[in-house]
Amino acid sequence: MRVAILGGTGAFGRALAQRLAGGDDEVVIGSRDAERAQAAAAELGVEGATNADAIRGADLAVLAVKADAALATAEEIADALGETPLLSVASALQFSKEGVHPDPEARSLAERVAQRVRAPVAAGLHTLAAANLGAAPPEEDALVCADDPRAKELALELAAKLVAGRAVDAGPLASARALEGLTAVIVNVNRRYKAHAGIRLTGLH
Amino acid sequence: MRVAILGGTGAFGRALAQRLAGGDDEVVIGSRDAERAQAAAAELGVEGATNADAIRGADLAVLAVKADAALATAEEIADALGETPLLSVASALQFSKEGVHPDPEARSLAERVAQRVRAPVAAGLHTLAAANLGAAPPEEDALVCADDPRAKELALELAAKLVAGRAVDAGPLASARALEGLTAVIVNVNRRYKAHAGIRLTGLH
């Protein structure tokens, strides 16, 4: 699979590229700035390009920009993306002194991204911390959701390469509301228990 | 601890009562109809009463009615409840042929319950299936959130008695949005994998 990691110079994008580098997949880090992308890519032994160039020929694009840039970036890349499936991984969080709150919007960020592109959109990987991804695959599951079967299949295929646990089909894209909210739960848990928490599902055979 | 399970004649309420019965806690099943409460309670060897009577003397009340009755029941019991901490366990789901969708409301059901009572409100236990609770404590974690420290502490104490895993503090009451959404994820997973899924957090020491 050829995977374009858009906004791949950030912490999660780099960790994702690092986890995939040296495996069977072709990885290209995208950024607004081609030089930044190439610098980050060179460190990890993968390719680097502008976001639009990174998308060309990719089987799956991962929207790995920060939450506050996700909608604008989706608009910017919509034409380059065409029908290439897009995986949304960001969660809009609100920080307060009582703890981290989930996004107060009724619709998930992934659903709002989907309104801005023609491509089929999946959402997932929200419970994977960059810090847990870098080295060996973590003993966690990775949850993915989508309405489009092909976007879901590619996202599950990618997810399965990232974790020692399962890539789990969490249902329709509307489940992104829950998966994005889980990031808030995990950040709260990390603060409370001084941990790098992840998720496993029990009861699957 | 004396626990009042309001709407305790339903599947989850009965499973909760069954799990606690015979332990160190006093359990009273509440219902709108005292006779139904007493009939359900007699089967499980606990007490039964109207919701208002069940609340009297309880340390913690669990709002175990179905999601579509949660807000109306909260209003009905508000006076009887007074300042007794209330644990909201329901999730408003939307069923469609593409799968189960999380509640489309921007605010969680628990936050809307909290607007209807003077009592401090916690939310939790959303990932515990009645089918997994009945017999031995399941090998799962139970997630709880609240703004009020005492409501959170009591809810965590209750949660710890229900599972073989951990009772996990998931942060402020706003986290209920994510926890309630997880019920949709779990129902989707159960359908897809023919499972009775639950959750464990990884990375906690």
B182, B190, B191: best mutation site toward chain A, by most A Cβ within 10 Å? B182
Which tokens is B129 given? 């299936």
**Angular region, B117: left φ>0, alpha ψ -120 to 50, beta rest:** beta
**Three-state DSSP state, A183:** helix
Instruction: Report the residue from B138, B139, B197 with minimal CB separation from A204.
Output: B197
Which residues of chain A have a pLDDT value below 70? none
Give pLDDT tens digits along chain B (205 positions).
999 999 999 999 999 999 999 899 999 999 999 999 999 999 999 999 999 999 999 999 999 999 999 999 999 999 999 999 999 999 999 998 888 998 889 899 999 999 999 999 999 999 999 988 877 899 999 999 999 999 999 999 999 999 999 999 999 999 999 999 999 999 999 999 999 999 999 999 7
Euclidean distance between CA atoms A108 and A119, whole angstroms: 17
Q: Which residues in chain B have their CB less than 8 angstroms from residue A204's CB?
A: 189, 193, 195, 197
pLDDT of residue B29: 97
CA atoms within 13 A on the CB side of B87: 31
> Is residue B121 within 8 Å of B74, Cβ to Cβ?
no
Euclidean distance between CA atoms A191 and A21, whole angstroms: 30
Test B175 with A197 for CB contact under 8 angstroms.
Answer: no
CA distance B105 to chain A (A): 6
Q: Which residues in chain A have their CB less than 8 angstroms from residue B182's CB?
A: 178, 182
Residue A128 φ then ψ, to 5°: -90, 120
CA distance B31 to chain A (A): 31
Euclidean distance between CA atoms B173 and B180, whole angstroms: 11
Test A197 with B174 for CB contact under 8 angstroms.
Answer: no
Euclidean distance between CA atoms B67 and A81, whole angstroms: 40
Cα angle, residue B85 at apex, residues B82 and B86 outer, rounded to 5°: 100
Instruction: Establish if A166 touches chain B: CB-CB under 8 angstroms.
Output: no
Q: Which residues in chain B have their CB less than 8 angstroms from residue A98's CB?
A: 147, 172
User: pLDDT tens-digit profile of A103-146?
Assistant: 889 899 999 999 999 999 999 999 999 988 877 899 999 999 99
Residue B27 φ then ψ, to 5°: -120, 130
